[in-house]
Amino acid sequence: MSINRPIIFPKTNSGNFVSTEPNKLAFNDGWQYAPAPESTDHVTIDQRYKLFIGGEFVAPEAGRHFETINPATEEQLSSVALAGEADVDRAVKAARKAYNGVWSKMPASERSKYIYRIARILQERAREFAVIESLDGGKPIRESRDIDIPLAAAHFFYYAGWADKLEYAFPGRHAVPLGVAGQIIPWNFPLLMCAWKIAPALACGNTVVLKPAETTPLTAMKLAEVIRDAGLPPGVVNIVTGAGETGAAIVNHPDIDKIAFTGSTEVGRIIQKAIAGTGKRYTLELGGKAANIIFADAAIDEAVEGIVNGIFFNQGHVCCAGSRLFVQESVADEVIRKLRDRMETLIVGDPLDKNTDIGAINSASQLETIESYLKLGQEEGAQMYQSSCAVPDRGYWCRPTIFTGVSQSNRIVQEEIFGPVLAIQTFRTLEEGLSKANNTPYGLSGGIWTDKGAKIFKMTQGIRAGVIWANTFNKFDPTSPFGGYKESGFGREGGLHGLGAYVRLEA
């Protein structure tokens, strides 16, 4: 049976689809895991957060604030300062002063000591950061504890090491810092994106003004505390909270030398237009619609695990998520069957529960976007399958979802959904797989699953994407550059390449 033939699932009362195929495994009754919530006793979240400018926490000039909520309960966690143009100007002035006065003049070996100190304090306070990240953003504690926070610390450690070795990074050239960097980051990996942005900028001798996303400002404000405690000279790092208006103030500020943005392709376009002709440098890390390609000769069970890690990691709020699955037709039925059984074992719910696999959708508006795509997919005639798990009454939730019976012309295949939603197609030949994988305006990442080394090389050479994983997916490391082709962005972050985005090379 080819998967292109529709598989009919009868609808149950709950509205979910249940397979009636024979020899089905049963995952739902019997022995269950008791709740194992991570304690929040050791965490303090202030009722109100100010802006971090010039080494101090200062109130926003216009006195405006916005709420940040816990997406798993819809309860308010804190109230956060809304930075206006005047606040951004103040932050840029502080950054410029720190750049001219201290940071650009400091011996590089001294700079690296400060960055190491940030890394160490982050490690010491890792548990606290993990809990806050999960509270504010909805991601499961398993991920914030095992991935986000350790990786953020690792980025600081890694770039701290480069600070006094730039002459080896660019042999025969002289690397000069750019000045003040304006950095705007998304809500999917709040602290990790802070680290991706701040660590290389500081290592190269720049100062920064950073804006976290409006739904996830808390770990950035906690990082401000760490930066203060690490004794960084005032103004080297400034953190201003707010939404699009604050971001625009950073992008349009005349005294900023470089813009680093991670977020949607739509906003990336606006930024690129805004800074055209200003001489500002920029790196943009934008959307993606990665192809995850499973060949018939792959280790199928591990590939199924890779599909799960590719699309359900961080609720699918991952720009490099493997959201388009291509399965070679002879193993398509097997892969989909195993994937559905695996989906049944995914636990959706309380992000603070150590057994949770999929946490809360980050915000009401993102949930709305995802749900509109679920509706669209069904209207387009695709077959939707969701796992049968229960989800809490309050908060924003989306069950892991796959669509079969789709083609390249479906919008759910073309557009970035940024949720736990996978579109599955089949292919026959390597050439067909390659051509379909590249048939997208995006080019951020990709995955290949095969037991044959030669096939891996052929595919990696052919796929137009910045990061390609072979027999694994969504693996990150500070030493590895990350970034996109085509509409997925410009420039690279991470590794040696990430340094290049924060220096001017002179003879």
Which residues are known to be catalytic? 285, 319
Distance CA 190, CA 212 (A): 7
Output phi, psi for 258, to 5 deg.
-150, 135
354 binds other proteins (CB under 8 A): yes
- Extract the tokens encoding 366: 């993102």
DSSP-assigned letters across all residues of 92-132: HHHHHHHIIIIITTS-HHHHHHHHHHHHHHHHHTHHHHHHH
- Extract the tokens encoding 125: 């306070």
28 binds other proteins (CB under 8 A): yes
Q: Report the SS3 class of residue 237.
A: strand
142 binds other proteins (CB under 8 A): yes
471 binds other proteins (CB under 8 A): yes
* x/- letters, 286..325, toward other proteins (CB under 8 A): -----------xxxxxxx-xx-------------------
Q: How far is the CB of 345 from other proteins (least distance, A)?
A: 4
Q: Report the SS3 class of residue 364.
A: helix
Closer to other proteins by Cβ: residue 11 or 475: 475
Distance CA 399, CA 361 (A): 10
Distance CA 136, CA 407 (A): 36
Q: Name which of residues 472 to 501 contact other proteins (CB under 8 A).
A: 472
Closer to other proteins by Cβ: residue 148 or 416: 148
The widest CA-to-CA distance across the chain, in whole angstroms, is 73
Q: Name which of residues 428 to 457 contact other proteins (CB under 8 A).
A: 451
27 binds other proteins (CB under 8 A): yes
Using CB under 8 A, which of 76, 109, 345, 429 touches other proteins?
A: 345
Size of the site for other proteins (CB under 8 A): 33
Using CB under 8 A, which of 25, 59, 86, 390 touches other proteins?
A: 25
Distance CA 165, CA 137 (A): 36
Distance CA 225, CA 219 (A): 10
Contact between 235 and 259 (Cβ < 8 Å): no
Closer to other proteins by Cβ: residue 89 or 297: 297
23 binds other proteins (CB under 8 A): yes
For the chain, give the number of residues. 507
Q: How far is the CB of 319 from other proteins (least distance, A)?
A: 22
List of residues 6+ apart from 81 with CB closer than 8 A: 48, 49, 50, 51, 59, 60, 64, 65, 87, 241, 242
415 binds other proteins (CB under 8 A): no
Distance CA 75, CA 429 (A): 51
Provide the β-strand partners of residue 79. 48, 67
Closer to other proteins by Cβ: residue 304 or 367: 304
Closer to other proteins by Cβ: residue 108 or 346: 346
Q: What is the CA radius of gyration of the chain?
A: 23
Closer to other proteins by Cβ: residue 414 or 471: 471
Using CB under 8 A, which of 1, 8, 10, 34 touches other proteins?
A: 34
Q: How far is the CB of 430 from other proteins (least distance, A)?
A: 18
Q: How far is the CB of 338 from other proteins (least distance, A)?
A: 8
Using CB under 8 A, which of 1, 8, 26, 507 touches other proteins?
A: 26
355 binds other proteins (CB under 8 A): yes
The residue ranges that bind other proteins (CB under 8 A) are 22-23, 25-36, 142, 146, 297-303, 305-306, 337, 341, 345, 354-355, 451, 471-472
